[in-house]
Amino acid sequence: MFNLVIFGPPGSGKGTQSENIINKYGLVHLSTGDLLRAEKNSGSELGNKIKELIDNGNLVPDSLVEEMVKKNVANNKEAAGFIFDGFPRTTTQAAWLDNMLAEQGQSVTQMLALDVDDNELRNRILERGKVSGRADDQDENIINNRIAVYHKQTQPVIDFYSAQGKFVSVDGIGSLDDVFGRISDAMDKAMQN
Ligand code: ADP
């Protein structure tokens, strides 16, 4: 199995590049942002709680996201591997993922982090907000909060995978094809090992 963690700040291109990775490598895409938005839009009580957090640019509790990931991994027993997109976002989630995969004799193969500076992120998210309809993409204060939350709570996840020798940084600036070329090179290298 190839289990990829695609990592990076909000707006770094994780979702877009995940589509390219699926097309080339046939992995199952597991985006916690997509799963949470689906729950949010369902109008359930849980969905309303999630909405409050997401729309303000804050993280949803670890246990809730972990539950969703577990369910979706269990539902894809035949997968050749997963792309974890937007997960793990805290070191607690990263440790949980290691344990969950270990229970099935699996592990994270590689963590690819898309490197994009904060100014570029702000511009990209505002552009996306014009078409995405996402409330959290349309307000500059909320975008700034998401970037701050990333630096404070999510960036430490890099050290977690670095310590395991699984962290690879990819320059996320350039055309979609250029960035995907860098991602493919890194994945192909990991597959040869
Ligand atoms: P982006 O990368 O543009 O921020 P996502 O779709 O990955 O978009 O996430 C949107 C929002 O969903 C986050 O700001 C956060 O509120 C919530 N979220 C997504 N994944 C997680 C996670 N692993 N843990 C906690 N909250 C999450």
40 lines ligand 1 (CB under 6 A): no
| Span 51-67, pLDDT tens digits | 999 999 999 999 999 99
| Span 153-184, pLDDT tens digits | 999 999 999 999 999 999 999 999 999 999 99
89 lines ligand 1 (CB under 6 A): yes
Residue of 136, 139, 144, 149 to test ligand 1 pocket, by largest number of atoms within 8 Å of CB: 136
The closest-lying atom of ligand 1 relative to the alpha carbon of residue 85 is 7
What was the pLDDT predicted at 84?
98
What was the pLDDT predicted at 32?
98
Q: How confident is the model at residue 193 (pLDDT cuts 50, 70, 90)?
A: confident
| Span 92-131, pLDDT tens digits | 999 999 999 999 999 999 999 999 999 999 999 999 999 9
Average the pLDDT over 38-63 and give the result: 96
54 lines ligand 1 (CB under 6 A): yes
Decide if pLDDT at 79 tops 80. Answer: yes
The closest-lying atom of ligand 1 relative to the alpha carbon of residue 89 is 23
End-to-end CA gap in the chain: 13
Alpha-carbon distances of 138 from 37, 57, 142, rounded to whole Å: 16, 11, 8
11 lines ligand 1 (CB under 6 A): yes
What was the pLDDT predicted at 11?
96
86 lines ligand 1 (CB under 6 A): yes
Count helices and strands (H / E) in the chain. Answer: 9, 5
Decide if pLDDT at 192 tops 90. Answer: no
Q: Report the CATH number of the 2-192 domain.
A: 3.40.50.300
Domain boundaries, the chain: 2-192
Q: What is the CA radius of gyration of the chain?
A: 16
Element of type H or E holding 115 = strand 110-115
What was the pLDDT predicted at 114?
98
Decide if pLDDT at 35 tops 80. Answer: yes
Amino acid present at 2: F
